[in-house]
């Protein structure tokens, strides 16, 4: 429990403070490939021209990642915005646990290793095979496999998901081929390690927010049952499926590795399974498939009795999974909790793809509300279609509801997430991303009209970049091209800063219009608290606003 915030007595507005999070929208480093700059965004342009704004850091150390070479992501971004401080995040925590040896000294690791040594079973690893460092890192996987061999495990199987989203869209073989060689060289002295199955991350296994459980069903069918199209190697599977489908890595169909028609790595009774992704949102559903006694979302056909563990605890309130290798960051005293303690009425909304980010992640990885009487959460169901086919997504629906809530006068603080820049940005389709930005811009204009009429303040920001960097660039800044001469698409997040615009037509000199520079997005929490008229917690990161 936290204590109520003290009123500052320095600012008071008739209407609410509305926090608009443009997911995946930053300031591009290059003109070519910057879909944000290429879009016709007259409303945002008008806000930049009239109101004070600054740039915020949204990657690397500013959001708790290991280094400034690490791009930000929606999970850590919303954690930082919601708690007002920077905590070491998944990638850094896992790396520290492995390098110190603490992971391998822990009860969970010892339990999973002891299980397969006792039963003669297989140690399975499921996860994203890349160095994107957003959901996983290949080095973590390699370290665990090496340790498993050292500790006497005889057989390892890897169920490897293709990334093409946090790394290059067609970079899978840059990871799969060296990794297959790594496993082959390690497979000596009675140790047998192989890739057993795979598929694109946006096709199988890694669904989130219950948006499309059929992805999880396909993953279960592929990894556990070993059912699906068979290939002799992952290399053959990737090359063949690319040629047949024309799909980028994240969208490749599932595949099973087989010898003489028999899958090399089905998951059986007595096996141990590690989901080596450390990020929680796309880990919860496959975890439920392994742990639930009675699963209603799909027919598992069979439910093997295994020792299952996640890389981290993906839900600290529900304690999911039951076993995990690394403790997640312990985030406490979030902005939402302070506001509830202070009697502030709060409304949070997004569509399915980012609903958990303005609720669960924003609240410090906490499921549920701090106060049922003061908070309302609304989820607009996302379309289940490729995002490049519906680049506007549900931004108009979100805006409709936000405008209604602003006009109702029921809320002191409203926060929303427009997923367009991130979800469409990940497709790599430049024209679709431009369309998504223009659709979002229209809705931001509508929301600002309502907030201004209500006498409120609108803060426009983002959690990380993506749509601002849609082409691969060389070290000299030139655009990389494909064999056909077209620009090579970039589907991952960027390292670019993001905006923070303070839109306040009722401004009466209460604060300086010269906003602070060089801050990270963790400053958003203090900024919101300050503009709501409260004194922020002393250990929160500074606000972009300096009160007069």
Number of other residues whose CB lies within 10 A of the CB of residue 384: 11
Nearest to 352 by CA among 315, 329, 322, 385: 385
Number of other residues whose CB lies within 10 A of the CB of residue 235: 15
pLDDT band at 317 (very low <50, low <70, confident <90, very high): low
**Minimum mean pLDDT range among 73-77, 395-399, 458-462:** 73-77
Average pLDDT over residues 122-150: 97
Is 74 in the active site? yes
Average pLDDT over residues 303-323: 89
CB 105 within 8 A of CB 99: no
Question: How confident is the model at residue 315, as a pLDDT?
Answer: 73
Question: How confident is the model at residue 1, as a pLDDT?
Answer: 84
**Minimum mean pLDDT range among 11-15, 65-69, 87-91, 266-270:** 65-69
| CA–CA gap between residue 515 and residue 442 (Å, rounded) | 26
Average pLDDT over residues 255-278: 97
Question: How confident is the model at residue 492, as a pLDDT?
Answer: 83
Superfamily of domain 17-89+330-409+420-531: Alkaline Phosphatase, subunit A (3.40.720.10)
Nearest to 374 by CA among 338, 398, 403, 399: 338
| CA–CA gap between residue 219 and residue 227 (Å, rounded) | 10
Inter-CA distances, 215 with 54, 384, 397, Å: 40, 11, 25
The pLDDT of residue 524 is above 80: yes
Average pLDDT over residues 167-178: 96
CATH number attached to the domain at 91-326? 3.40.1450.10
Residue 506's H or E segment, with its range, is none
More confident residue, 327 or 540: 540
**Minimum mean pLDDT range among 167-181, 331-345, 444-458, 478-492:** 478-492
* 119: three-class secondary structure by DSSP: helix
The pLDDT of residue 470 is above 80: yes
Average pLDDT over residues 302-314: 95
* Catalytic one of 8, 67, 74, 97: 74
Number of H helices, E strands in the chain: 17, 16
Mean pLDDT of the chain: 96
CB 466 within 8 A of CB 494: yes
pLDDT band at 186 (very low <50, low <70, confident <90, very high): very high
The pLDDT of residue 209 is above 80: no
The pLDDT of residue 436 is above 90: yes
Average pLDDT over residues 25-37: 97
The pLDDT of residue 546 is above 80: yes
Nearest to 310 by CA among 296, 327, 293: 327
Q: For 235-246, give the DSSP string.
A: HHHHHHHHHHH-
CB 249 within 8 A of CB 200: yes
Average pLDDT over residues 171-178: 98
pLDDT band at 194 (very low <50, low <70, confident <90, very high): very high
Share of the chain above pLDDT 70, in %: 100
CB 206 within 8 A of CB 215: yes
Domain ranges of the chain: 17-89+330-409+420-531, 91-326
Question: How confident is the model at residue 367, as a pLDDT?
Answer: 87
Q: For 287-352, give the DSSP string.
A: HHHHH-SS--SS--S-----EEEEEE-SBTTTTBSSSEEEPPP---S-HHHHHHHTT--EEEEEEH
321: cis peptide before it, omega within 30°?
Answer: yes
The pLDDT of residue 316 is above 70: no
Question: How confident is the model over 54-72, as pLDDT tens digits?
Answer: 999 999 899 988 778 878 8
CB 276 within 8 A of CB 311: yes
pLDDT band at 79 (very low <50, low <70, confident <90, very high): very high
**Distance between terminal CA atoms of the chain?**
31
Question: How confident is the model over 504-515, as pLDDT tens digits?
Answer: 999 999 999 999
* 461: three-class secondary structure by DSSP: strand
């Amino acid at each position: 429990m936290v204590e109520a915030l003290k009123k500052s007595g320095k600012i008071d507005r008739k209407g609410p403070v509305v926090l608009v999070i443009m997911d995946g929208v930053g300031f591009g480093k290059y003109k070519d490939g910057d879909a944000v700059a290429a879009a016709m965004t007259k409303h945002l342009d008008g806000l930049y021209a009239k109101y004070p704004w600054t740039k915020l850091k949204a990657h690397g150390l500013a959001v708790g990642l290991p280094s400034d070479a690490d791009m930000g992501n929606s999970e850590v971004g919303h954690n930082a915005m919601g708690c007002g401080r920077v905590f070491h995040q998944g990638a850094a925590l896992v790396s520290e646990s492995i390098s110190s040896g603490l992971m391998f000294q822990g009860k969970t690791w010892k339990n999973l290793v002891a299980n397969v040594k006792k039963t003669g079973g297989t140690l399975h690893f499921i996860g994203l095979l890349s160095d994107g460092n957003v959901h996983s890192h290949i080095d973590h996987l390699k370290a665990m496999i090496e340790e498993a061999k050292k500790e006497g495990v005889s057989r390892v199987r890897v169920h490897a998901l293709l990334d093409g989203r946090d790394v290059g869209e067609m970079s899978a073989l840059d990871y799969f081929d060296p990794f297959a060689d790594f496993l082959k060289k390690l497979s000596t002295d009675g140790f047998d390690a192989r890739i057993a199955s795979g598929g694109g991350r946006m096709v199988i296994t890694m669904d989130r927010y219950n948006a499309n459980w059929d992805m999880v069903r396909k993953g279960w069918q592929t990894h556990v049952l070993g059912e699906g199209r068979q290939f002799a190697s992952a290399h053959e599977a990737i090359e063949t499926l690319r040629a047949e489908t024309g799909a980028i890595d994240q969208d490749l169909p599932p595949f099973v590795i087989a010898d003489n028609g028999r899958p090399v790595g089905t998951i059986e009774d007595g096996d141990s399974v590690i989901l080596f992704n450390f990020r929680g949102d796309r880990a919860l559903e496959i975890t439920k498939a392994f742990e639930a006694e009675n699963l209603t979302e799909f027919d598992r056909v069979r439910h093997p009795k295994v020792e299952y563990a996640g890389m981290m605890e993906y839900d600290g309130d529900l304690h999911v999974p039951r076993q995990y290798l690394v403790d997640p960051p312990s985030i406490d005293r979030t902005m939402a909790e302070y506001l509830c303690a202070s009697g502030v009425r709060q409304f949070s909304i997004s569509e399915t793809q980012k609903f958990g980010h303005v609720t669960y992640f924003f609240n410090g990885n906490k499921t549920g509300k701090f106060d049922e009487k003061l908070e309302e959460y609304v989820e607009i169901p996302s379309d289940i279609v490729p995002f490049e086919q519906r680049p506007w997504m549900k931004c108009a629906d979100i805006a409709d509801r936000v405008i209604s809530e602003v006009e109702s006068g029921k809320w002191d603080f409203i926060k929303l997430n427009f997923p367009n820049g991130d979800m469409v940005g990940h497709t790599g389709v430049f024209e679709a991303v431009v369309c998504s930005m223009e659709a979002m811009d229209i809705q931001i204009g509508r929301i600002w009209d309502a907030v201004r009429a209500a006498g409120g303040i609108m803060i426009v920001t983002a959690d990380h970049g993506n749509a601002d960097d849609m082409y691969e660039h060389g070290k000299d800044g030139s655009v990389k091209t494909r064999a056909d001469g077209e620009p090579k698409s970039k589907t991952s997040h960027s390292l670019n800063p993001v905006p923070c615009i303070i839109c306040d037509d009722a401004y009466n000199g209460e604060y300086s219009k010269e906003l602070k520079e060089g801050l990270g997005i963790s400053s958003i929490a203090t900024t919101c608290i300050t503009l709501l008229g409260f004194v922020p917690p002393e250990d929160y990161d500074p606000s972009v606003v300096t009160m007069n």
